[in-house]
Structure 1
Amino acid sequence: SKCGGEGQIIEKKCPECNGRGVTSGSATVNVKIPAGVAAGNYLQVRGSGDFGPKGGSPGDVIVVINEIEHKQFTRHKDDIICEVALSFSQVALGAEIEVPTLDGTTKIKVPSGTQSGKIFQLRGKGIPHLNSYGRGDELVRVIVWTPEKLSDEEREIIRKLGQMRGEKPPKADKSFFEKLRETLGGR
């Protein structure tokens, strides 16, 4: 039929909507993103979608969350992971270092003899829990930085140190992921 099941025929159709009662357009919708949302979460903004036919109620806008990779942090659930490069002297002798956090920076003590790959856990410095109190943790992984160029004097000092200690590095006991799993407690 000519009415298309609508029950009436519109003789004089509006040139903008062609008798449908709605026009297409675009609008900006402000959305408050709660702390702690993760990629794949979605938010429903009620009543901000298209209007229904014949003046029906407007639908909802569904916003799907996507995360942009951060240059310093990697996210694992509500925990964040960052790596800090330290010199041999810092890990051998111990040092107090400044590390980045989501809220700025904080200082941590690196004990003497710290090995490359060691993970320090900063409780409550991670992502806020969604719809809950508290935050995840920040995991700081130490990487020993090795200089690419050494002077002749520096080479000689390092060579002498190695000879004095008769050094041979021990076999790695655990992989990075095993250490991470232990630190996260199976999370």
Structure 2
Amino acid sequence: MSAPTDWATKDFYAVLGVKKDASADEIKKAYRKLARDHHPDSNPGNTQAEERFKAISEAYGVVGNADKRKQYDEQRSLFGQFKGGFPPGGGGGSYGNAGVDFDLSDILGGIFGGGARGGRRRAPQPRRGDDLETEATITFRQAVEGVTLPLRLTSDEPCTMCHGTGAKPGTVPKVCGNCQGSGMQTGASGGVFAMTEPCSQCRGRGLIVEHPCEVCTGSGRAPSSRTINVKVPAGVKDGQRIKIRGKGAKGDTGAPAGDLFLLVHVEGDERFGRKGDDLTVTVPLPFDDAVLGGEVSAPTIDGPSVKLKVPPGTPNGRTFRARGKGGTRRDGSRGDLLITVEVQVPHEPSPDERAAVEAFRAARTGSA
């Protein structure tokens, strides 16, 4: 691998065959095609292809990373002001005629993870908190109207003894020398592409703990329990998964918390059903009211019953709509209550009822 000073003089965009202002997707697409064409597995015994593949991987390792690409562009712009690409002396000197002293290794350290002066390394990034998932069962009415639930969560969070460093109090972890603190390493996958994966030495942390904390054994995390209140919105459906941002496990100092995903189970109701934002209910309708017309009373989810007039000749299964008596929508408005009538036929009619029905039949058929 070439030295950082050599990297700074290379045109990684030209290596990948893209323009300097190419998008991240364009760079990735170009890299994949070139890596496929020049991978050693596809060109056995071809040393030229192998060297080309190394150059392609090196270029993508810089301009394929947003942070490194930004710093690389800045340094290319800086070095472009010198005719030879470097100030006199190569590793250090004055910038232009301004008389500003600097060390080239200091500039390159930010891009490539280290420099010759002081052993500087890229500071490891604090870890975001883990996402958590839990479940809750609510009643039908709570699902319709919305509810605030207390949820008890257990998760791994920054250790209170070492404050998330993983190191024994009085000691500090050191930057991983394998990944230079980035937490990632690039290696051949055995296939077409070179894959970037968590560092095998620090397991993605970017740090090596030489003296582990006795509480968290060096992980920087320890089990923690807490209770939070979560608002379940009105209209939630059975089996719906709700995302609550920032309510997951706490992150390391300076890093955001993860998110909480709540899987909601809704209990059924003996009287009501749901159809979108509308509620449904079935009520009995006496046979004579179905024929002659009448009035039905239907329950509501959160108030007094509603009464509806039923016109003569109403068939079994007809549905009526009571506006604004359904479930609460997200905007605060209400859906409707859909009332379906079920015509009731007496199983054991009294003598008077039987005589009345027989008279009805005679009138309908025209028989005496």
TM over 0.5: yes
Change in 2 beyond 3 A, CA 1:117/1:12: closer
Aligned-partner SS, 1:32: strand
Asked if structure 2 preserves the Cα contact closer than 8 Å seen for 1:87 and 1:146, the reply is yes
**TM-score for the superposition, normalised by structure 1:** 0.73
Name the amino acid aligned to 1:64: L
Whether 2:260 is the aligned partner of 1:61: answer: yes
Whether 2:334 is the aligned partner of 1:117: answer: no
| 1: CA distance, partners of 2:299 / 2:272 | 9
1:138-177 aligned at under 5 Å gives the runs 138-166=337-365
Higher relative contact order (CA 8 A, sep 6+): 1
Q: Which runs of 5+ in 1 are unaligned?
A: 168-187
Asked if structure 1 preserves the Cα contact closer than 8 Å seen for 2:209 and 2:218, the reply is no
* Residue 87 of structure 1, aligned match among 279, 286, 290: 286
Change in 2 beyond 3 A, CA 1:50/1:57: same
Give per-residue Cα distances to partners, 1:77-114, cap 9 Å, x unaligned. Answer: 11122111111122223222221122321111112222
Name the amino acid aligned to 1:85: P
Name the amino acid aligned to 2:328: P
Name the amino acid aligned to 2:292: L
Asked if structure 2 preserves the Cα contact closer than 8 Å seen for 1:2 and 1:9, the reply is no
| 1: CA distance, partners of 2:203 / 2:232 | 42
1:22 alignment counterpart = 221
Cα offset for 1:40? 5.0
* Residue 37 of structure 1, aligned match among 236, 255, 258: 236
RMSD value, Cα: 2.6
| 1: CA distance, partners of 2:259 / 2:231 | 15
Q: Which runs of 5+ in 2 are unaligned?
A: 1-199
Change in 2 beyond 3 A, CA 1:54/1:134: closer
Change in 2 beyond 3 A, CA 1:146/1:27: farther
**TM-score for the superposition, normalised by structure 2:** 0.40
Q: How many residues align?
A: 165
Change in 2 beyond 3 A, CA 1:81/1:61: same
Aligned-partner SS, 2:237: coil
More helix by share: 2
